[in-house]
Amino acid sequence: MLKLVSDVIGNFLVSLIKVYQKTLSPDHGLFKYKHPYGFCRFHPTCSNYSIQAIEKYGPIKGSLKAAWRVLRCNPFNKGGEDPLK
């Protein structure tokens, strides 16, 4: 039962991220033409990283890893390759 609830919440979060990617994301959404070389300083993008983290670790730990990644996305971090571990 707990696994089912976790899966439902995880799928809901992934769906929200995918809606964000299709609409508001500067790398994936309607405005991607304004940034032909990409906008995100990390690879994979923060939203793709978040989806991978939630699918691998579940909604709680995956969301925490995603939040930490988004917090690191700032002008003081050079970015680069940062795959999910």
| pLDDT at residue number 12 | 98
Torsion of CA 62, 52, 27, 43, to 10 degrees: 100
Whether 73 and 79 have beta carbons less than 8 Å apart is answered as yes
How does pLDDT run across 25-62, given as a tens digit for each residue?
888 888 787 877 777 889 899 999 999 999 999 999 99
Contacts of 69 by beta carbon, 8 Å cutoff, 6+ apart: 42, 46, 49, 50, 53, 82
Sequence ranges of the domains in the chain: 1-81
Q: Which residue has the tokens 């939203």?
A: 47
pTM: 0.87
